[in-house]
Structures are given as structure tokens and as C-alpha cells.
Structure 1
Amino acid sequence: MTSHPAVPLMRTTPEGLLWEPSERWVRGRRGDVTVVDSRHPVLVWEPHLPVPQYAFPRADVRTDLLHPAQNPPRGGHTGPTVFYDLEADGETRPNAAWTFPADDLAGHVAFAWFPRTGTGLDHWYEEEEEIFVHPRDPHKRVDALPSSRHVRVEIDGTVVAETRDPVLLFETSLPIRYYIPRRDVRLDLFEATDHSTRCPYKGTAGQYWSWRGGAAVPPNLVWSYPDPLPAVAAIKGRPAFFNEVVDITVDGELLQRPVTPFSAGLRV
């Protein structure tokens, strides 16, 4: 049998875009209207963005709902991009879709995600699971592993959590997050807030807490996922702390506070 070298899936365009085909069935909706229904999407990485975007063959898009943008933005994407306004469900959303200039992606249309940008489509699904914020990067992974490590969390010298029953969440390019049973967290030292965020890999962090003490720490430094996605079900209901602003000791070793993409937003 003759062997052949593997053909790389990811490709590069002269404009600097990276892209690769995806085998996931993807749908995008504006209200009750399905605007995208594709079994042949492609993932596109722009040089200035750390996360991928989906682009879809025109045949899989309700192009009858797209019209040349009335006020297209300058820049925002790689190369001379053509923008479209979306008219669906009784509303016009400006600059909701665009095409990339690369010949490789000719005939494909990309969409903004409304909860993140204020325009584009409201809901996205991969197979039957709703996804949030942006497509999941197939070259990154998230693992939630139960552990027996001894984890202690302190704020300004006060122990606010201590456990030997954490779940360690390993996420590509981010520090380990330590999800701690509620019984082992001093939530009486914190105040619940109405803040919430979404993650394409974990779901909705629907509960946040802020420190009640006098230390100069940012708000919403503790969070939990009441109903996480199935892949990380082990973190359900467990609070976690931003390593960037608290002191975490693991098995007797004080961890260095990391600098991450979240650091800029964690200011007092």
C-alpha cells in the first residue's frame, strides 16, 4: 500500500488569512428566521483576532435578506471587505455580514454575532448545541479534571477558600482555573452581583461575586457556571477566582499571578 503525506487542513491566503473547512453542521438565526444553515462552513482566522469566525457558502445563506451596506465601516477586517445590512424579523441590522477579499473564500459570507457586536445574528448552533460569543477553535481544548490537590485562596492575607476537592480547568493559552466546592468558599465575605458572561467552551457564567472587604481588588472576581456545557459538567456550581488578582497556593506552593487577556479588565 502506498502512503501519501497528509494534506494540511489549514491554509493561508496572500492577504494573511488562515482558514480551514469544518465538518460541523452550523445554523444561525435572527429571531425566528434561520439565515444560515450550512453543512460546509469554513473557519477563518484574521491576523488581528485571536479567535476564529465562520464563513459560509452563499448557497447556504439567505442572501435575499442581505443588501449592500448603507454605511459600511472603514477597516475592521482584513483587506477590502464588502459589507451587507441584514433585513430580517422586521428589523434592519447594519453591517451584519461581509465577504473576505481572498480568492480562496470567494463565494463565502461571514456574519457578526449580535450579543458580542450589537449586530448580526442572535443565536448560533453547532449540531444541536447552542454556542456563544464565537466559534470554538478546533486547535484549542478545555479539560475539567477532578483533583485532590490542596488549594488555598487568599485576598490581602484573608483565606477565602480552601479545599482538597477542586476541579482543575485546563484551557489552552490560559492559566489553570481552580473550581472549588461552595462549602469550601467563604461566600459570606462576598456580595452577589448581577454580572454574567458567556464562554463558547463553558457556557454562561450566570453568577458573580464581589469582595466585601477593604482590599483594593476589582469587582466580580469570583464566578460560577450554574449550568455549564456538558464537556465541562464537573465545574457545575463551583466558584472560581481570577488568578490574576488573588493569591492561590497549590500543594504549599504560592502561584505567581499571571498576566492574561483578562488582566486589562481586572482593574480597581
Structure 2
Amino acid sequence: MSTLPTAHSVRTTPEGFLWEPSERWVRGVKGEVTVVDSRHPLLVWEPGLPVPQYAFPREEVREDLLRPAAHPPTGAHAGSRIFYDLDTGGEPLRNAAWTYPGRDLAGYITFAWFQHRDPGLDHWYEEEEEIFVHPRDPHKRVDALPSRRHVVVEIDGTVAADTRRPVLLFETGLPTRFYIPREDVRLDLFEPTDHSSRCPYKGIAEYWSWRGGADVPSNVLWSYPDPLPAVGTVRGLLAFYNEAVDITVDGEHRKRPVTLFTWALFSGTEASRPRAGSSPGPL
């Protein structure tokens, strides 16, 4: 039986972009200035980009604050777009906004948000909740479920955590993360760091590094002290990067997964560390 398209069907442009309407009220703020106030945004997936971005009708954007970009970027993807600098007083934000090519997305403007070198707006909100890094993908799920599984985490042969009361976090496209009560983690084996990351699904994470030797990447352990409401059950619990430790679940050793975080973890460079994407832990 055929299915008629709905108002929320994902559509494809001739240029290869995917898009669909969103009913969320989205606002973007720079300093004290609300630059975007939109009740009719689109979610747009660019070719080669794993997460969506918002595009906003021009009438819901402060176009009076946009100027033609003084130094627009170049390259295959940039050449078909019109870029704008944002001027809210003070130093303009370079290439803060742009248009997408083609007829389908004409009349919409998007703003720098995910993995852009130049700074963007200070805060983004969906309804009354602040979100970070990138818009949440409505086609992905993040479920945090309390469990009675027996989870043991070892680092270089040392048991770092042992629990029978984890919260399992299932996130589309990522390995299961095991969030463990602090009482069941050997926190004396770790030291807190000043690293933090933001995840659009979970919030702001704080980190710890392994005190011992061995080839263990920094910031291997994290926690969300004040998670977003949808994953409130992980509040204050601790999780390890499966990519860098040995995890046994109900007596079965789990192979270390290879994910988008693997290279970043072991490269040892701050610029390459995950910033929530998808998220990890944290992207």
C-alpha cells in the first residue's frame, strides 16, 4: 500500500541536500541581541555532514544585521552560497550566515553552528531549552535506561569500576555507553581535568583522566552533573569511552568499538577531541 507524503517528510533537493520542516520555536542570540526568532525553521542535512542544521525564513532573521561577507570562504561547497558577516556592534562575525543553493531552500538563511572555525551566535534555544553544538536530529534516539547488568571496567588490568546498577545509554549510531554510580567507580585512580564538552542531547560534561601510566588517552571518564531532562537518569553518573577501556558485561567481554572518537582520543590533540555529535559521551 502506498503512503502519501506528510508535512514532515524528508525531501531531497537536486543539489543533494535533505530537508524537512520543524515545528520547534528556535531562537539564536548574540550578546543581548536576538538575531533569529523562528517558528518555521527547516532542518537541513548537507551532503557529507552527519548532523542537521537549521535554515530560517528571511523574515524571521534580523537581516538588518547582516552584511555581504568581506572575505567569503572558497572551495567546492562554499562557491555556490552567499555568505554574510553579522554586525551587532563591535567586531563583526565573519561568515556567520549563508544561503543554500537551489530553488528548494531559496528564501532561507542558516547560521554557523556545527564545526565552524569562526565564532557564531552565543546561545541557541529550542522552545525554552538551550541546545549546544548542533540541532537535535529527530531521526535519532537517545534512551537512558536503568539496568541490573553487571558491568566491569578495566584499564591496563586494573578494575576501575564494578557495578550491578548501571544506566545504559543507547544513542543512534554510537556504542552503548554505561553510566555508573560514583560509589562503584575507583575515582581515586583518576584526576579531574578542566576539559568540558557539550552535547545537544545530554548537556555539558566534565572529565577525569587516568592517573596511571599505560597508553590511556586523557579525559577518558566523564559525567553530566546537570543533564538535559530527557536523560536525567544519568545525572552525576560516570561513563568511560568504550574505545579506550576494557568493558565486561554479564561476564562477556566487549570488543573496543572503532568510532568517530577513536582517532580523536588517541591523537592527543585538543582540536581533534570530540565536541558532542553526535556525542559520546559527549560529542
Q: Deviations over 1:215-235 (max 9, x none)?
A: 111000000000000000000
Residues in 2 aligned to 1:53 and 1:60: alpha-carbon distance in whole angstroms: 16
Q: Deviations over 1:42-76 (max 9, x none)?
A: 00001110000000000000000001000000137
Alpha-carbon offset, residue 86 of structure 1: 0.3
Which residue is equivalent to 2:236? Answer: 237
Correspondence list, 1:70-219, <5 A: 70-75=70-75, 77=77, 80-113=80-113, 117-205=117-205, 207-219=206-218
Amino acid at match of 2:241: F
Alpha-carbon offset, residue 41 of structure 1: 0.1
Alpha-carbon offset, residue 118 of structure 1: 3.3
Asked whether the 8 Å contact 1:44–1:54 carries over to 2, the reply is yes
Asked whether the 8 Å contact 1:244–1:260 carries over to 2, the reply is yes
Question: Cα RMSD over matched residues?
Answer: 1.6
Asked whether the 8 Å contact 1:114–1:120 carries over to 2, the reply is no
Asked whether the 8 Å contact 1:142–1:171 carries over to 2, the reply is yes
Query: Which of the residues 3, 6, 23 maps onto 1:5?
Result: 3
Asked whether the 8 Å contact 1:191–1:209 carries over to 2, the reply is yes
For structure 1, the residue ranges without an aligned partner over 5 or more in a row are none
Correspondence list, 1:23-38, <5 A: 23-38=23-38
Amino acid at match of 2:97: A
3-state DSSP of counterpart to 2:98: strand
Instruction: Choose 8-17 or 127-136, whichever is displaced more.
Output: 8-17
Distance 1:36 1:99, change over 3 A: same
Distance 1:197 1:76, change over 3 A: farther
Aligned length: 265
Distance 1:77 1:33, change over 3 A: farther
Q: Deviations over 1:187-243 (max 9, x none)?
A: 1001110000000000000x2111111111100000000000000000001110000
Residues in 2 aligned to 1:7 and 1:79: alpha-carbon distance in whole angstroms: 32
Distance 1:76 1:45, change over 3 A: farther
Q: Deviations over 1:92-150 (max 9, x none)?
A: 00100000012100000000128964322110000000000000000001000000000
Distance 1:114 1:20, change over 3 A: closer
TM-score (norm 1): 0.95
Distance 1:38 1:249, change over 3 A: same
Alpha-carbon offset, residue 87 of structure 1: 0.1
Residues in 1 aligned to 2:248 and 2:89: alpha-carbon distance in whole angstroms: 52
Residues in 1 aligned to 2:188 and 2:82: alpha-carbon distance in whole angstroms: 53
TM-score (norm 2): 0.90
Distance 1:78 1:52, change over 3 A: farther
3-state DSSP of counterpart to 2:232: helix
3-state DSSP of counterpart to 2:226: coil
Residues in 1 aligned to 2:219 and 2:30: alpha-carbon distance in whole angstroms: 31
Residues in 1 aligned to 2:76 and 2:220: alpha-carbon distance in whole angstroms: 31
Which residue is equivalent to 1:63? Answer: 63
Residues in 2 aligned to 1:258 and 1:28: alpha-carbon distance in whole angstroms: 36
Instruction: Say whether 1:220 aligns with 2:208.
Output: no
Question: Where does structure 1 differ by over 3 angstroms across 4 or more consecutive aligned residues?
Answer: 76-79, 114-118
Asked whether the 8 Å contact 2:72–2:95 carries over to 1, the reply is yes
3-state DSSP of counterpart to 2:188: helix
Alpha-carbon offset, residue 4 of structure 1: 8.1
Residues in 2 aligned to 1:76 and 1:225: alpha-carbon distance in whole angstroms: 39
Residues in 1 aligned to 2:88 and 2:21: alpha-carbon distance in whole angstroms: 28
3-state DSSP of counterpart to 1:194: strand
Asked whether the 8 Å contact 1:79–1:101 carries over to 2, the reply is no
